[in-house]
A and B are shown apart, each in its own frame.
Chain A
Amino acid sequence: MSSHREAPEISKDPVADNTDVYAFVSPDQPDTVTLITNYIPLEGPDGGPNFYEFGDDVLYEIHIDNDGDAIADVTYQLRFQTQMRNPDTFLYNTGPITALDSQNWNRRQFYTVTKVNKGGHATVLGADLASPPCNIGSRSTPNYAALAQAAVHDLAGGGKVFAGQRDEGFFVDLGAVFDLLDLRPFQNLHLIPTPAAPGIDATDGLNVHTIAIQVPISHLTRDGSTPTNPKDARAVIGVWGAASRQKIRLLDKTQHTDVGPWIQVSRLGNPLFNEVIVPLGKKDLWNTLSPKDDEQFVKYVQSPEVARLIPALYPGVFPNLKALTAARADLVAVLLTGIPDGLIPGFQNFTGKTPADMLRLNLAIPPTKAPNNLGILGGDLAGFPNGRRVFDDVVTIELRAIAGVTYPLVNPKFTPDAAASKVTDGSPSTDPDAPYLASFPYLGVPNSGSAIPAGS
């Protein structure tokens, strides 16, 4: 999936597993930008009695590069602290939780938000901020939407933050994709053909833990401006998320203690980068590195394994892709440098020649009133790969890009296969049970544990 359990080591450490990163100009507050990083993949809503929570021992970070060197100029750090009211019960809650200070809520989390600039100067923007409880069920969390919304906190200096459970907004037919790349609408043309079948949203009914920050655009640009000219280099930022743990853990009978410097164990910029671009033997390494170190991964973008697999698994369907042996400069632009000015009318998100996996957002592109979830491939310049909105169909976008639809950007003589603009995993892009929100934090209300039993 986007980055759920995408590498061997981090798949064993869910609370530090960065699953998705989103960055977009806020549609209802267009002078602000919203940054979201998600953790804890595939949360079953009924996963009690110890329901999901952030790691007190994890350093969560959202990094922003605003000058193209792939080094963070602004970083938001979150640290969590768990409090337990009553250690003599096994219950997460001893009655309905109707407020964030409810005496019935037995295990609560609070967090601190700190902004760190490139020079290392740290400013605490909020402390002792409450996370909402998980959506336990109709008896325990009877008015969950309002309860969670109360956990949206203002930040010192402007902006707001939310950290807590949300509906999993990412959608993909997980079972099909990893079953030897079972893609629509060509299932019958696969080397091992199967009858046509509709796609399944494998994350439907599951939750995730979200860190969402919304700040004025001027807080992130290199000169403190709010850009209006998309061609202006100052309008583009690079965004990635990261999670770190301290170097040593001392295990004792009653508690554990962590000591030593923070060691990065997870990062994420573009969706699916570590998942399907980086080979298995280097995924764990990739998670420990910073975007500035990504030169060594350029070759995997220039010749992605998926681009070789598609024509091999679907014989005769992608002949032009099969014949395309040149380095994929289009994918390097989309994923590692940004798209230079002049390739797409009215758009660029180029950050320079330093190859780095960052989600690049041109802040001067205003939100689209009628968004297309295929983003730039669908003619919507406000969507992926110009940042990423919560509803963007990044699986289809990246599949089509890898299949060749973006290669004419760098070689107009290339004709993509007809199938390239049709290929998709086929998962439904809407979730009627947990629709996206029109306002912060944008990801839907999490699924209730009592309403959607796991495995249904």
Chain B
Amino acid sequence: MVTQTRRRFLMKTSAIGALTTLSGLAAACAAQPASAAAPLASPAATAQPTSAVPTTSLPNIRSNGPIVAYVNDLSSGEVTILVGTQEYVYRDPGLVASIVKAIH
């Protein structure tokens, strides 16, 4: 199994969005060092209206369609990744901090 890293993830994704507010960023960065990246959630069932549940790793994502990532809550350090009908919640405060830094 290919080890998932933040850099590899960024290279694989074709789109990244940050839909969030800036409040809580400082707290998030203080509470979670960038090296604390850890996957949290598993894919939602295909064609079943449901939400993401915890997982231990991100899968090898292959998709011809877009991949969308968004941050819903800066303080959580979590990035929600959407591909096809799947949803993953990936915990990576460093990535969250980088996204916020990029839009400043």
A157 in contact (CB, < 8 A) = no
**Separation in Å of the B41 CB from the closest CB of chain A?**
11
Q: Which of B44, B45, B50, B84 contacts A259 (CB 8 A)?
A: B84
Contact residues in B for A262 (Cβ distance below 8 Å): 47-50, 85
**A59-B47 in contact (CB<8A):** yes
Contact with B along A47-85 (1 / 0, CB 8 A): 000000000000100000000000000000100000000
User: Residues of A contacting B49 with CB < 8 Å?
Assistant: 59, 242, 244, 261-264
Choice from B45, B52, B86 contacting A120 with Cβ under 8 Å: B45
Partner of B65 from A114, A120, A244, A257 at Cβ < 8 Å: A257
Contacts of B68 in A (CB 8 A): 248, 250, 259-260
A116 within 8 A of B: yes
By beta carbon, the residue of chain A nearest B43 is A261
- Taking a contact as CB atoms under 8 Å apart, the answer to whether B48 and A120 are in contact is yes
Chain A residues with CB under 8 A of B84: 259
Least distance between A267 CB and chain B CB atoms (Å): 10
Chain B residue nearest to A288 (CB atoms) is B49
What residues of A have a CB within 8 angstroms of the CB of B73 in the complex?
none
Number of A-B contacts (CB under 8 A): 51
Contact B45 A246 (CB under 8 A): no
> Knowing A59-B47, A242-B49 touch, does A261 contact B87 (C-beta < 8 A)?
yes
In the complex, which residues of chain B have a beta carbon less than 8 angstroms from the beta carbon of A418? none
State whether the Cβ of B18 lies closer than 8 Å to any Cβ in chain A. no
Please state if A122 and B66 are interface contacts (CB–CB under 8 Å). no
Contact A260 to B65, CB < 8 A, known contacts A59-B47, A242-B49, A244-B49: no
Give the complex CA separation of A264 and B45 in angstroms.
13
Considering the chains assembled together, what is the distance between the CA atoms of A120 and B45 in angstroms?
9
Is the CB of A299 closer than 8 A to any CB of chain B? no
Check if A247 is an interface residue, CB within 8 A of chain B.
yes
Measured in the bound complex, the distance between the Cα atoms of B50 and A114 in whole Å is: 18
Which residues of the partner chain A approach B44 to less than 8 Å between Cβ atoms? 261
- Cβ–Cβ < 8 Å partners of A264 in chain B: 49
Using known A-B contacts A248-B68, A250-B66, A250-B68, determine if residue A260 contacts B85 with beta carbons closer than 8 Å.
yes
Q: Is B82 part of the contact surface with A, judged by Cβ < 8 Å?
A: yes
B interface, by DSSP: helix, strand, loop or mixed? loop
Contact, CB under 8 Å: A261 / B50: yes
Assess whether B20 is interfacial by the CB under 8 Å rule: no
A333 to B95, CA, bound (A): 52
Closest CB in chain B relative to A121 CB, distance in Å: 12
- Is the CB–CB distance between A116 and B47 below 8 Å? yes
Please report the C-alpha to C-alpha distance between residue A301 and residue B44 in the assembled complex, in whole angstroms.
33
Residues 6 to 60 of chain B near chain A (Cβ within 8 Å)? 15, 44-45, 47-52
Minimum CB–CB distance for A449 against chain B, Å: 34
Beyond A247-B82, A250-B68, whether A260 also contacts B48 by CB under 8 A is no
Q: Tell me whether A261 and B65 are in contact in the complex, defined as CB-CB below 8 angstroms, given that A120-B45, A246-B85 are known contacts.
A: no
Interface mask (A415-444 → B, CB under 8 Å = 1, otherwise 0): 000000000000000000000000000000
- A290 to nearest B CB, angstroms? 8
Which residues from A are CB-within-8-Å of B82? 247-248, 259-261
Judged by a CB distance under 8 angstroms, whether B83 is at the interface is: yes
Which of B66, B70, B86 is within 8 Å of A261, CB to CB? B86
Quote the shortest CB–CB distance from B40 to chain A (angstroms): 16
Specify the chain B residue showing the minimal Cβ separation from A246.
Answer: B85
B70 to chain A, nearest CB (A): 8
Determine the chain B residues whose CB is within 8 A of the CB of A260 once the complex forms. 68, 82, 85-87
Q: For B85, what are the chain A residues with a Cβ–Cβ distance below 8 Å? A: 246, 260-262
Residues of B within 8 A of A248 (CB): 68, 70, 82
Question: B52 to A261, Cβ gap below 8 A?
Answer: yes
A120 to B15, CA, bound (A): 30
Chain B residues near A (Cβ < 8 Å): 15, 44-45, 47-52, 65-68, 70, 82-87
Instruction: Return 6 A-B CB contacts under 8 Å, by A number.
Output: A116-B47, A120-B45, A250-B15, A257-B65, A259-B66, A260-B86
Q: Which 5 A-B pairs have the closest CB atoms?
A: A260-B82, A261-B44, A264-B49, A244-B49, A262-B49
* Known contacts A120-B45, A257-B66, A261-B86; 7 further A-B pairs (Cβ under 8 A): A114-B47, A250-B68, A259-B65, A259-B68, A261-B50, A261-B85, A262-B47
